[in-house]
Chain A
Amino acid sequence: MTDTDANVAEVSLGQVLDLQAAEPLRAELMALRGRPLQVDASQVSRLGGLCLQVLLSARISWAEDGLPLRIEQASDGFLEQLAAFGGPQINFEPEGAHL
């Protein structure tokens, strides 16, 4: 990480990202808008459709802001589930930007 920006926000995803985790996650991410984001997915054992939506939505929001969003240390469970969902891209990297 070429971290020249001390403003980077970090968020750690919970273990179970299900129905109940969706709104808290959305709220948490909303609160971090406007800053580059690092999402720690190392703890995730289950990723459900609703939380996937939130992450995809976050990607759109960060893309709109032109700020990078990056999944870090994704757990196997996270990666597996993401693949089962069709492997959507969640990371976003604006042209020439570095987190």
Chain B
Amino acid sequence: MDPFESIKATFFQECEELLTDMESGLLAMEQGDDDSETINAVFRAVHSVKGGAGAFGLEELIRFAHVFETVLDEMRSGKLPLTDEVAKVLLRASDVLADHVAAARSGGGVDEGRTVGMIADLQGLIDQDRANELGLNDHGDASGADEDFGFVPVVLSLDEPATDAPDVDIAALLSAAAEPAAATPTWKVIFRPRAEMYAKANESALVLRELARLGDVEVSLDASGVPALDQLSAEAAYLTWTIRLSGDKSEAEVREVFEFVEDDCDLTVVREGEAPEMAAADGAESDASASAVEAAAAAPLDLEALLARVAPTAEPAPLEIPPAQPVAAAPVAAPAPAPANLDVAGLIALAEKASQDHAQAAQTPVAKADPKVDQKAEARAGSGAATAATPTIRVDLDRVDRLINAVGELVIQQAMLSQRVFESGLARSSDVALGLEDLELLTREIQDSVMAIRAQPVKSVFQRMPRLVREVADMVGKKVRLVMDGENTEVDKTVIERLSDPITHMLRNAIDHGLETPEEREAGGKGAEGTVRLAALHRGGRIVIEVQDDGRGINRPRVRGIAVTKGLIAEDAVLSDDEIDNLIFLPGFSTADVVSDISGRGVGMDVVKRSIQALGGRISITSEPGKGSKFSMSLPLTLAVLDGMVVSAADQTLVAPLSNIVESLTPRAEDVHLIGGRDAVICIRDTFVPLIDVGVALGFRDTPLPPASGVAVLVESEGGGKAALLVEAIQGQRQVVIKSLEANYQHIHGVAAATILGDGRVALILDVDALVTTSRRKSPRIEKRMAV
């Protein structure tokens, strides 16, 4: 990828994160959060999108972002109060902004009418006089793109004959100090980065460059805090800049330049002539800047020593040095912005801007495109708008997969080795056996860590949903509140990528079919606003996604009627409520009388079900008429290595996932009863549960095992249903590597996957849910009926 495209790709990646942040903030604002930090975070996000777009000349995007940003700025400054109405407009604006970003990315167009309408809505939030004042009604000047990067190289004397260099420089510096630039400096900015600023991949160079865009600048550097090389910590911060900025910019505009670094630097912005006050977060508390502070404190006292040390570099600043200010070097004038090459300047600016969060994202592709490793501030988990970023690394998925596979093999190999050692008759207390135990612990740790690399919070998918809900609700004229839980639940990346479609579909379905219209709801004694809850949770080593609405529930007679009409079931079929509910997953089933744009077109729940099954997942539904429905889909945390109970049945070695197992027991003959002469149930502490002979259920043999001669393993399915699996013996507990049957062979009912045991044989992993469900289908109400 050429460097420009690569940087652009980084910009769009960053946009995704910014849009997500923005939406989180706006959603919080919709809930009434008018905290200035929240508003600031939203503003920053929009501003950053605009800034990046500027470098690429994405005019449409810039124009819209500018209007959006201006309105947010009004809010930020307290001129526009946060109301429900305002929040809703802003949310819609965020959708339009996202469209613009998407269009810019794909090179497509945006809905011009919608944009114009949205701009009008945004302007409507601000009174007209103010809008004119802000230039909102004139979109022409709205940019970052058409601003000059008012930054001019100053010819330095570095190429002068070396002997003369210091003298010449000092003379130049002195004259510059004595005669400030022609334009009267209005702002004096003292900028002292702390180590944290650099650690977060922010760059003082960028900040200075941005500042130079605001007007004529004179930059002076105080390097008096810099120690000699042997005492230098390369990542500490020793420098302080004093910038005199002339121009008609407001303090807010000046400070805006520092918005990404304000927490990690000491900053003073004063009008020239005013007494400077260091920012509240003055550096004293920061270890990293301690040396700079010390230098600053020492400066007035030990000026000569410092001067002697840095003599040819720095000259003492004019007499107006404020007490808190470190010795300032004489300024070098960098006036009169000359036209810069926009592309190059923009590119550099963007590269550096991107590095605000993506330390290497911007530069690695330039330096070396492959391996495409970059750092990324990903740790934005949590709700806070200003969450600290931790450095992360972006790695090719393929590499991780190879690693995971290798670790899987390692686990198998380790199990085989253990088995060999065990078979060789070595004592458990032997050094080899003990060493193997350590190896096993280590292997497990490696495995957990490797799996964690691929795990990501479902947040990335969930965060797209509020918009969907808003749009669908608007389209069908319903009022919907979306409640999301468990956004930080982690699941394998491959699963996440494929979650989006089913969730989208289920949400559309819930709003379109599940929820009633506001009038119907009110008539039914409910609030006009329906609630849809989207939740993610871990259960039994799987991830469960639930979509629940508080709507009308499934109209079973109607569903049944449709199924009969469409010939999906026989007219006289006797179906339980559950079975009727599950009819909606049949191919071709659609309850919508009028095929709607939202969830109709016959692309129904059967598609959802198929896509979930393809992931090795299941979907189930529970519904209560008048109260709503709940769809639960449960998906494996793919490639997982599971803890299993190794059992034998009909001479086969099988593995039951430990997460499903409640207990194991030896059945007594008198506890086992036959229902209808065929299906066995077992009484466990006064509750009857189906007793499933695994050997028979999987077709390994036809004759059931006499219950008393086997072991019953009580398992619980995801739906909460219990059953006892009858096997011949339990061999032990072991960690096994899952090898997909679907990927290597085909799906087999009752078998979730396979694994390779320590002795090299293949063992099937039981699909407990499928076994339990099958037994229930045969006799759906056994548990209830027989319960004592």
Which residues of chain A have a CB within 8 Å of any CB of chain B? 15-16, 18-20, 22-23, 25-26, 29-30, 33, 46-50, 52-54, 56-61, 63-64, 68, 70-71, 74, 76, 79-93, 98-99
Contacts and interface: CB of A to CB of B under 8 A. Distances in A.
Contacts of A86: 219-221, 241, 329, 331-332
B229 A30 contact: yes
Contact of B219 (A47, A56, A74, A85): A85
A53 B239 contact: yes
Contacts of A64: 228
Contacts of B234: 22-23, 25-26, 50, 53-54
A25 B238 CA distance: 16
Contacts of A26: 229, 232, 234
A59 to B, nearest CB: 7
Interface in B200-238: 201, 203-205, 208-209, 212, 219-221, 223, 226-230, 232, 234-235, 237-238
A53 to B, nearest CB: 5
Interface string B358-389: 01100100110000000000000000000000
A61 B229 contact: yes
A37 to B, nearest CB: 11
16 contacts: A19-B201, A52-B239, A57-B232, A60-B228, A80-B151, A82-B156, A84-B151, A85-B205, A85-B221, A86-B331, A87-B154, A87-B173, A87-B219, A89-B312, A92-B312, A93-B162
B241 A85 contact: yes
A60 B226 contact: yes
B227 A83 contact: no
Interface of B: 151-156, 158-159, 162-163, 165-166, 169, 173, 193, 198-199, 201, 203-205, 208-209, 212, 219-221, 223, 226-230, 232, 234-235, 237-239, 241, 309-310, 312-314, 329, 331-332, 334, 348, 351-352, 355, 359-360, 363, 366-367
Contacts of A81: 205
Nearest to A51: B234
A64 B71 CA distance: 56
Contacts of A59: 313
Contacts of B230: 30, 61
A71 B156 CA distance: 12
B226 A84 contact: no
A93 B166 contact: yes
Contacts of A85: 204-205, 208, 219, 221, 241
B158 A91 contact: yes
Q: Which 3 A-B pairs have the closest CB atoms?
A: A86-B221, A83-B154, A49-B204
B228 A57 contact: yes
Contacts of B332: 83, 86-87
Contacts of B367: 15-16
B238 A53 contact: yes
B163 A93 contact: yes
Contacts of B314: 88
Contact of A88 (B223, B227, B359): B223
Contacts of B363: 16, 18, 46
Given A16-B367, A53-B239, A61-B230, A84 B208 contact: yes
B235 A50 contact: yes
Contacts of A19: 198-199, 201, 203, 235, 359
B569 to A, nearest CB: 66
Contacts of B237: 49-50, 53
B662 to A, nearest CB: 53
Contact of A58 (B198, B204, B229, B359): B229
Contacts of B169: 87, 89
Contacts of B220: 86
Contacts of A30: 229-230
B191 to A, nearest CB: 10
Contacts of A70: 162
A59 B228 CA distance: 8
A89 B223 CA distance: 10
Given A46-B205, A79-B153, A88 B313 contact: yes
Nearest to A49: B204
Nearest to B329: A86
A54 B233 CA distance: 9
A62 to B, nearest CB: 9
A79 B169 CA distance: 14
B165 A91 contact: yes
Nearest to B159: A74
Given A53-B238, A60-B309, A60-B310, 16 more contacts: A18-B359, A19-B201, A26-B234, A46-B205, A48-B205, A53-B223, A53-B237, A58-B229, A60-B229, A61-B228, A79-B154, A79-B158, A84-B212, A87-B169, A87-B219, A93-B165
A80 to B, nearest CB: 4
B149 to A, nearest CB: 11
A97 B667 CA distance: 98
Interface-centre pick from B152, B229, B363 (highest chain A CB count, 10 A)? B229
Given A15-B367, A86-B221, A50 B198 contact: yes
Contacts of A15: 367
A91 B221 contact: no
Given A56-B223, A88-B221, A83 B334 contact: yes
A84 B309 contact: no
B103 to A, nearest CB: 31
Contacts of A88: 221, 223, 313-314, 329
B153 A80 contact: yes
A4 to B, nearest CB: 14
Contact of A16 (B152, B204, B366): B366
Contacts of A49: 193, 198, 203-205, 237, 239
Given A22-B235, A49-B239, A86-B221, A91 B208 contact: no
A19 B221 CA distance: 19
Contacts of A98: 162-163
Contacts of A68: 162
A64 B229 CA distance: 11
A99 B221 contact: no
A89 to B, nearest CB: 5
A68 B559 CA distance: 90
A83 B153 CA distance: 6
B238 to A, nearest CB: 5
Contacts of B235: 19, 22-23, 50
B219 A84 contact: yes
Contact of B226 (A57, A80, A83): A57
A86 B309 CA distance: 18
Nearest to A69: B162
Contacts of B162: 68, 70, 91, 93, 98-99
Contacts of B366: 16
Contacts of B331: 86
Contact of A54 (B165, B205, B232): B232
